[in-house]
Amino acid sequence: MISFALIFIASLFFTGIVVRTKSIAQGRKGPVILQPMYDIWRLLRKGSVFSTTSSMIFQLTPSFYFASILLAMMVVPLCGTTGIFSFRGDFIFFAYVLAFGKFFTIIGALDTGSSFEGMGASREALFSMLVEPAFFLLMGTLGLITGNLSFADIFAMFHFGSYTSYAFAAIAAFVLLMICMIENSRMPVDDPKTHLELTMIHEVMVLDNSGFDLGLIMHATNLKFAMYSALIANLFIGDLAWYISVPVFFAVEFVCAVIVGITESFMARYRMSHNAQFILALSSLTLLLFLGVMATTGKI
Amino acid sequence: MEIQNGQSVSMSQLEVLPYNTFYSDIIGLMEEPTAHCVNYFAVPRDERLTLICCIAVNASHSIHVLRSEVGRDDKLLPLTNMHRAFHVFEREIHELYGLQFQDHPWLKPLRYAHDRANDASIYDYPFFNIQSEEFHRVGVGPIHAGIIEPGHFRFICEGEKIHHLEIQLGWQHRGIERLFVEKQKLLQRATLAENIAGDTVVGHSTAFCQAYESLAGYQLPEKLAFDRTIALEQERIAIHTGDLSAICTDIAYQLGNAVFGRLRTPMINFFQQWCGNRFAKSLIRPGKTNFPFTPQLADTWRNTIAKYKPHFIEMGEHMFDLPSVLSRIERTGIVPTTTARSLGLVGMAAKASGIEADIRASHPYLRYNELNIKPIVKTSGDVFARARVRYEEVLASIQNIERLIDLMPAADYQPQTELPLRPGMLTVSLVEGWRGEICHCAVTGAGGQLTAYKIVDPSVHNWMGLAMAVRNNGISDFPICNKSFDLSYCGHDL
């Protein structure tokens, strides 16, 4: 319960910090941190408009997508407590409940019959498929180190015992952050700011959504950011007391948001055809990590 | 007949060739590698059409003007079959007067002019189509998400790869050329010229003034020529800087977008200080200027540029050295030199593809003789080359203005407000705008009234270049290719 609440609170500020970081990098003052939330609140109070070519699937999609993120959040542990529920193999549940939400956004996009949205859906499907091995290899590695199969147990056992676990935590944090940026369709894979439909991935899939539905989709992104950053925070918290771990959690969220902002400020986006290479490189990095752990634990 | 840039010639001196000779003479002229067609149009004359073709030859710094007369029902041999660059001109003649061309490969509507000969509708353009299970079509526009003008793009793609792009324009047609003939006042015409393309105000109004003054037999005072040259170079700096910012936006490079965007402002605001309009409207008028370039303005310019230049160079060098930027712009949207030549590309796009196409160097006008312009040429023909040409041209233009200011002449001329046109004349006026070669042709009738005014914006030549550049590229790279050309819709649609 605590983790759920903490992630929700962090999600309110995450995008605001990203936007603010980008503004400062540009030499502008930037909007207030809560501006993205004001926008979402405004959208949530509006009605939705539906295209006449779309069916019920399109109308269900935003709610299913949002619900899938809430469900995934429930298994994330934090600060020594488990999530709302926890069981052996809950990280598989985590991955596939997110995939379920993504499946709905894809068929929702196809439902509109727009050629743009079909293109976006095909890209999103490809990139999420490629990022899946990276996530499972990473969780498999952590499971191998700790000998456990649930988020709560894995992170509780993942102590900073030796220098190798520092290295593992650093690489795992990097991989998780990258997965987070790919899953959230941020730079360098996707550009959330662009107005060019032909280059979009996620944005083009939600072109037809409006009002309340759009608000849900936008807040789902914030929650996803906060949730992945919570996983990163878990790598560093271990079994620290709450009065240390809660500030550490918020510090990690803040650092992640700033890193996202800085990445988006100082580099160009990848060419679409290079995205696949980049994501596969991420998987191979985790494979190295996995083999390294196998070697150190004497499994091979 | 061979003339110089901005020279007028009496229509009666132009020999009327039979179409066959006209055709073979043009083919003969085009054998010279630096020859290109700057304008080719028809003027109705009783029941017949007078065809006028202007071929500019860079090597000899001259323009060849050829004239022929044909009946409206004649079936002509198309020049497009020999030289692709003629397709826009023949399509326009066909569209306006219904003149038929035998076996023309691409006789599609050009811009749906209001006074066209056929009643084709813009809503059923004959798109190239492909019957296949593997390919899919993507239509973009004419209403776009950004702030750009209307144009329809239809892609035939295999997955992410573009196989074919067809561009349908004409949504922005305003009938500018006809208005030039209908409006009688000089001020009305000068205002029209400023509104041919909103981003090339100086380029088009200079071309108009050059044509108009030549028809009136007006000798341009040195100071006016000086002012216009400065304005042309300043417009190049301002628009190129803005374009570099826009290229950065399209590859999601925020730093470049922010810095170049900020640097564009003082450059475009310099026009505001000069003439009260950021796009230099009302600055250039035939026979006079309401806003002469003064020594005080020269000081302001020096101060502005002293702040601008170091930042521009720092940002440019950083951008063209950044791996993530280079990976997006290198080898994207390549137009090889042979393709560029056969399509008759002009200006920046041609220079990026290894062609020395610069009217300032090949057909000097105003004060460009003294500046000894060297075209900046890149050979790779990709987005990188087009961006890099812009960057280096900005630096060259700064140098040009610096040198010009040192040569500032005194303002010792009488402003001319009335410029009566000489009867029965034809003039060809070429100007290198920031985008490329602008051509204005005007013909006067027996009473000295305008009977035809034909405008060719560089975009007219270059749109087909964009369609070829994106072939075999990813469809997500189309926006960056499009931006690197940065063609005008209203300049094409007129």
Tell me the pLDDT of chain B (494 aa) as tens digits: 888 888 999 988 889 999 999 999 999 999 998 999 999 999 998 889 999 999 999 999 999 999 999 998 889 999 999 999 999 999 999 999 989 998 888 889 989 888 888 888 889 898 898 888 889 888 887 888 777 889 999 999 998 899 999 999 999 999 999 999 999 889 999 999 999 999 999 999 999 999 999 999 898 999 999 999 999 999 999 999 999 999 999 999 999 999 999 999 999 999 999 999 999 999 999 988 999 999 999 999 999 999 999 999 999 999 999 999 999 999 999 999 999 999 999 999 999 999 999 999 999 988 898 888 999 999 999 999 999 999 999 999 999 999 999 988 888 888 888 888 899 999 999 999 999 999 999 999 888 889 999 999 999 999 999 999 999 999 999 999 999 999 999 999 98
- The verdict on a CB contact (< 8 Å) between A199 and B479 is yes
B140, B250, B474: residue with CB nearest A273: B474
Determine the distance in angstroms separating the CA of B261 from the nearest CA of chain A, rounded to an integer.
Answer: 11
- State the alpha helices, DSSP H only, in B124-221: 176-182, 186-194, 201-216
- Give the C-alpha separation, B73 to B275, whole Å: 50
The strand pairing partners of B140, in sequence order, are B153
**What pLDDT score does B448 carry?**
86
CB contact under 8 Å between B478 and A198, yes or no, is yes
Which residues of chain B make contact with A198, given a CB cutoff of 8 A?
Answer: 138, 140, 475-476, 478-479
Query: What SS3 state is found at B157?
Result: strand
Query: Residue A298's pLDDT band (boundaries 50, 70, 90)?
Result: confident
Min Cα–Cα distance to chain A from B435, Å: 23
- Residue B12 CB-half CA count within 13 A: 5
Residue B436: per-residue pLDDT = 93
A269–B324 C-beta distance less than 8 A: yes
Which of B136, B160, B328 is closest, CB to CB, to A268?
B328
Calpha distance B479→A271 (Å, rounded): 12
CA distance A166 to chain B (A): 30
Which domain range does residue A74 map to? Answer: 2-296
> Would you call B254 and A119 a contact, using CB atoms and an 8 Å cutoff?
no
Give residue B239's pLDDT.
Answer: 95
Shortest distance, CA B475 to any CA of chain A (angstroms)? 7
Cβ pair B138:A26 closer than 8 A: no
Domains observed in chain B? 2-110 (3.30.460.80), 176-493 (1.10.645.10)
Type and span of the H or E element at A268: none
Residues of chain A contacting B479 with CB distance shorter than 8 Å: 196, 198-199
Query: Tell me, what's the pLDDT at B132?
Result: 86
The conformational region for residue B51 under phi > 0 = left, psi -120 to 50 = alpha, else beta, is beta
Q: Assess: ipTM above 0.90.
A: no
What is the reported pLDDT for B274? 94
Task: Tell me which chain A residues have a C-beta less than 8 angstroms from the C-beta of B255.
Answer: 25-26, 265-266
Q: What distances in angstroms separate CA A51 from CA A54, A113, B193, one per listed residue?
A: 6, 10, 43
Closest residue in A to B328 (Cα–Cα): A271
What residues contact B310, with CB distance under 8 A and at least 6 apart? none
Q: What is the pLDDT at residue A159?
A: 66
Are the beta carbons of A197 and B140 separated by less than 8 Å? yes
Interface test mutation site (partner A, options B165, B244, B324, B331, max chain A beta carbons within 10 A)? B324
Sequence-ordered list of residues with C-beta below 8 angstroms from that of B204, at least 6 positions apart, any chain: B193, B194, B196, B197, B431, B433, B438, B440, B455, B457, B491
Residue A201, pLDDT score: 85
Per-residue pLDDT at B398:
95
CB atoms within 10 A of CB B36: 25
Confidence of residue A293 (pLDDT cuts 50, 70, 90): confident
Q: What integer pLDDT is reported at residue B443 of this predicted model?
A: 93
Q: Is cis: bond before A188, omega within 30 of 0? A: yes
CB-based contact A215:A43 (threshold 8 Å):
yes
B241 min Cα distance to partner chain A (Å): 17
d(CA B366, CA B385): 28
pTM to 2 decimal places: 0.92
Contact yes or no for A265 and B474 at CB 8 A = no
What distance in Å separates the CA atoms of residue B15 and residue B352, rounded to the nearest whole number? 38
Task: Give chain A positions within 8 Å (CB) of B140.
Answer: 197-198
Q: Which residues contact A284 (CB under 8 A, 6 or more apart)?
A: none
Question: Chain A residues with CB inside 8 Å of B328's CB?
Answer: 268-271
CA distances to B105, B175, B318, B330, B336 from B384, in Å: 32, 36, 14, 5, 13
Nearest-by-Cβ selection for B252 from A25, A26, A268: A268
* Chain-chain contact of A197 with B136 (C-beta, under 8 angstroms): no
Total count of domains within chain A: 1
DSSP one-letter code for B457: -
The pLDDT assigned to A162 comes to 66
Residue-wise burial string across B449-466, b where 16 or more C-beta atoms lie within 10 A, e elsewhere: ebbbbbbbbbbbbbbbbb
The pLDDT of residue A160 is 59
